[in-house]
Amino acid sequence: MTAGTVAPYQPDQQTGRDGFAPLLRAEWTKFRTVRGWVIGTVVAVLVMFGLGLFAAGASSSSCQSTSGGPVRTGQGCVTIPPVGPGGEAVSDSFYFVRQPLAGNGSITVRITSLTGLLPPANGNVPGGPNAPIDTRPGLVPWAKAGVIIKDGTAPGSAYAAMMVTSAHGVRMQDDYTGDTAGQPGAVSPASPRWLRLTRSGDTITGYDSADGTHWTLVGAVHLAGLPSTVQAGLFAASPAYQAITEGFGGGENGLVGPSQDTAVFDHLGRSGSWPAGAWTGEYAGAADGSGIGGYHQASGRFTVTGSGDIAPVVPGQAGDAGTTVTQHLIGTFAGLIVVIVVATMFITAEYRRGLIRVTLAASPRRGRMLAAKAIVIGAVSFVAGLAAAAAAVIFGAQLAHARGSYVYPVPWPTELRMVVGTAALIAVAAVLAVALGTMLRRSAAAVSLVIVAIVLPYILGAASILPVGAADWLLRITPAAAFAIQQATPQYSQLTAIYSPNSGYFPLAPWAGFAVLCGYAALALGLAVVLLRRRDA
Amino acid sequence: MSRALPAGPPGLSVARRVEVTDIRDALHAEWTKLRTVGGSAWLLAGTIAATVAVSAAATAAARCPSGTACPVDTTKLSLTGIEFGQAVVAILAVLVISGEYSTGMIRITLAAMPRRSAVLAAKAVLVAGLVLAAGAVAIGGSVLAGRVILPGHGFTAARGFPVLSLADGPTLRAAAGSVLYLALIALLSLGIATMVRDAAVATGVVLGLLYLSPVILSVVNDPVWSHRFERYAPMNAGLTIQDTIGLRSLPISPWGGLGVLAAWAAAALLAGGLVMRWRDA
């Protein structure tokens, strides 16, 4: 640029926002009167919805039961997990030694040992739940045992528990997803742990202690709607053994098999209204097929053996055979490509036809013109994306259900975040396309750049060949980070699973990932305004 | 179609003479256009840069820690950049024809060269030739990067990963096939752009056709549908040419996969040629 560049004419006394509404109207008129763009937007909605339905329908399952409860063995079929109080799929199978507790009260116990058995190292897990299982001593990291207060024995009912774990110290857990750390370290006869749970109304408080006299508060949880009489007692659970080998394009499940643990309790102390009779020992949620468990009581000492888990069920876990709502939103990619094309043309067509000179003559404040364009295309894309995403989620779930494939239930706020977030993702991508179209003026380059920036990192990271570390890195710093908004299940630190991009887990939190895309769009828009002001049209 | 008879080489029948001159002139004209349009050289350089950079980054990110089995196809890994490079190739090929429609140049081109199929053929030959040349550099650079980087990251000959070399049959096939893959992507893009004319729409269609199939494949777990996508989607089928391990379990053979892409490109060019012939410019 030479020194003789003339600054664009900018009227100095045009005040405030009064000129902006007509600008918006002008841009909206341009958009709605170009038939190709309107058709393009409709096509975006249709392909997004259609592809979502296709993904839901093409995820076939040989397991035809659509009701809850015990079903289905063999060929990748699993028991349909119960749904927890928060609306997520949970596992609720453990060995439970219980008595009813009426009203308020507490239970205190000392735990002196936690031992267990793992499947054999060579991976020969014999078929059938009753076959003798060849085992070796050992514990999975989240083998757990302790005291629990539970709403009832119905699968998926509310609870709060204080427990020792094999590798993560004392924990207080509640309602499947809550997890608070207590004292660290493993339990042994030389270093026992004391646990206490106290119920007062709907509030359950957990304490731990190393000696039975000095108690530390671990946490207090509120279980809404807890009945006056609850089931309380001792429990033991041990999730399936899962050896995860980090591979290319996500982890791979190596050896998988049931495990069990055995805990020794003594110094059982209770306050409140407990019955005088004997304890009831039963395997809760035995439908799991891994219902190993039992208990033995002698002179104040309880030995409880259990397997299974009280925890969420998520994709990427051993035996995972479900699909997530995310898969019904797969059409986002197709819709996105169409919207990017339309949004790019929304600005490049002005340059091609020379209309930009008329536009800028009518509204000489160039930044505001671009802002109006971004708002119009963003709003149109948002509405289109919202309609398509909502329809895909609703009808996709119905279709999957009808075809007998299992879709992980998600709480409604999560589903709402996914649908609204998808629409917002498309809207921000459209704004990015307008900004790049303004900068480059050439539609082919702008369209490719935006598509490559958003879609290619996702393909390389989530659907392909890169090592997990590189994939995580790509999905953190590229605009594809925004697909985190479509993550259906959170990553639980208290649950062993393959948390890699290709089983649906993103390295950033949903809105943080979305913010990355917003950052790119804001940066591009800023540069576009600067260039638009400096360059001749 | 009527045309003035140009002076052709003597000794040929008039019709034959016309044909030869047509093609030759068309090639010359298209070459002048392509050579003098600002973007072409940049896009070819961009193809090379994008391919080599992403390939090198992918190999640099890969590690094979000692004591673990690494089930990885190092040849395919070191050619990862083609997934990015093909997008630049698509821009180039789209602009070769869309650029003419957007400026109205196409009317001059067709007035000077009324045989429309000759115009399209000349464009196809030139763009394929240029992409072959740039692709050879890009793929060569990628293999070289893999050859330099991989041994330092645990992929050593002692552990079953011989140093990447074009003297190795499967690696040569993967590399040469990748160059052809890029040329076929250019022809596919040219055919689609001839059909839809507008650069933005053509780019969207091409990239959608290429990139959507791996995305869909990542969620479809129905074996019948996955198999169909792996065999017939242009990118998935075409890139099997890069596989050098586990060839028996491939959904389609490497050359068969490249053949599928060639069929896509041929169909697109044919359809583009027909549309060009029948529609007003």
Q: How many separate domains does chain A show?
A: 2
Mean pLDDT, rounded, of chain A = 83
Q: Judge: B199–A337 Cβ closer than 8 Å, yes or no.
A: no
Q: Which two tokens stand for residue B202?
A: 């053509």
Nearest to A465 among B76, B88, B91 (CB): B76
Measure in Å the smallest separation between the Cα of B86 and chain A Cα atoms: 10
Residue A387: inside a domain, yes or no? Answer: yes
Q: Judge: B198–A443 Cβ closer than 8 Å, yes or no.
A: yes
Q: What band does A128 get if pLDDT is binned at 50, 70 and 90?
A: very low
Q: In chain B, which residues have their Cβ closer than 8 Å to the Cβ of A456?
A: 83-84, 87, 211
Instruction: Kindly state whether residues A235 and A121 are assigned to the same domain.
Output: yes
Whether B94 contacts chain A with CB within 8 A: yes
Between residues A509 and A77, the one the model is more confident about:
A509
State which of A281, A312, A343 marks the end of a domain.
Answer: A312
Q: Does the structure show a pLDDT above 90 at A327? A: no
Q: Does the structure show a pLDDT above 60 at A281? A: yes
| Nearest CA among A321, A313, A255, A266 for reference residue A123 | A255
Instruction: Kindly state whether residues A330 and A301 are assigned to the same domain.
Output: no
| CB-based contacts of B215-219 (< 8 A; 24+ apart in sequence) | B215/A330, B215/A333, B215/A455, B215/A458, B215/A459, B215/A463, B216/A51, B216/A54, B216/A55, B216/A330, B217/A463, B218/A462, B218/A463, B218/A502, B219/A55, B219/A59, B219/A323, B219/A326, B219/A327, B219/A330
Instruction: Tell me the residues of chain B between 162 and 201 that have a Cβ less than 8 Å away from chain A.
Output: 198-201
- pLDDT score at A511: 93
Share of chain A above pLDDT 70, in %: 85
Between residues A434 and A137, the one the model is more confident about:
A434
Instruction: Write out the residue range of the structural domain in which residue A189 sits.
Output: 90-312
Instruction: Kindly state whether residues A290 and A326 are assigned to the same domain.
Output: no
Between residues A383 and A284, the one the model is more confident about:
A383
State which of A312, A346, A375 marks the end of a domain.
Answer: A312
Q: Judge: B222–A58 Cβ closer than 8 Å, yes or no.
A: yes
Segment among A13-22, A71-80, B248-257 with least mean pLDDT: A71-80
Q: Does the structure show a pLDDT above 90 at A390? A: yes
Q: Do A232 and A153 contact (CB within 8 A), yes or no?
A: no
- pLDDT score at A145: 92
3-state class of A202 per DSSP? Answer: coil
Residue A367: inside a domain, yes or no? Answer: yes
Q: Judge: A248–B70 Cβ closer than 8 Å, yes or no.
A: yes
User: Distance (Å, rounded) from C-alpha B199 to C-alpha B193?
Assistant: 7
Residue A64: inside a domain, yes or no? Answer: no
Please identify every stretch of chain B with a pLDDT value under 50, giving residue numbers as ranges: 1-5, 8
pTM here?
0.84
- pLDDT score at B222: 77
- pLDDT score at A272: 86
Residue A13: inside a domain, yes or no? Answer: no
- pLDDT score at A319: 61
Residue A2: inside a domain, yes or no? Answer: no
Q: In chain B, which residues have their Cβ closer than 8 Å to the Cβ of A467?
A: 61-63
Residue A493: inside a domain, yes or no? Answer: no
Between residues B93 and A82, the one the model is more confident about:
B93
Q: Does the structure show a pLDDT above 70 at A16? A: no
- pLDDT score at A443: 85
Whether B79 contacts chain A with CB within 8 A: no
Q: What is the 3-state secondary structure (H, E, C) of A252-277?
A: EEEEEECCEEEEEEEEEEEEEECCCC
Residue A7: inside a domain, yes or no? Answer: no
Nearest to B208 among A337, A352, A445 (CB): A337
Distances (CA, A) of B251 to A59, A70, A332, B187, B242: 19, 36, 27, 24, 13
Q: Do A489 and A497 contact (CB within 8 A), yes or no?
A: no
| Nearest CA among B93, B182, B200 for reference residue A337 | B200
Instruction: Tell me the residues of chain B between 206 and 265 that have a Cβ less than 8 Å away from chain A.
Output: 207-208, 211-212, 214-222, 225
User: Distance (Å, rounded) from C-alpha A443 to C-alpha A426?
Assistant: 18
- How far is residue A506 CA from its own chain's centroid? 9
Instruction: Kindly state whether residues A341 and A427 are assigned to the same domain.
Output: yes
Instruction: Kindly state whether residues A301 and A334 are assigned to the same domain.
Output: no
User: Distance (Å, rounded) from C-alpha A533 to C-alpha B7?
Assistant: 53
Q: Judge: B214–A348 Cβ closer than 8 Å, yes or no.
A: no
Instruction: Kindly state whether residues A339 and A224 are assigned to the same domain.
Output: no
User: Distance (Å, rounded) from C-alpha A331 to C-alpha B74?
Assistant: 32
Q: What is the 3-state secondary structure (H, E, C) of A297-321?
A: EECCEEEEEECECEEECCCCCCCCC
If one counts every other C-beta atom within 10 angstroms of the C-beta of residue A301, the result is 14
Measure in Å the smallest separation between the Cα of B213 and chain A Cα atoms: 10
- How far is residue A176 CA from its own chain's centroid? 14
Instruction: Kindly state whether residues A264 and A207 are assigned to the same domain.
Output: yes
Q: Judge: A473–B61 Cβ closer than 8 Å, yes or no.
A: yes
Instruction: Kindly state whether residues A96 and A166 are assigned to the same domain.
Output: yes
Q: Judge: B94–A456 Cβ closer than 8 Å, yes or no.
A: no
State which of A312, A341, A360 marks the end of a domain.
Answer: A312
Provide the number of CB pairs (under 8 Å) joining chain A to chain B: 130
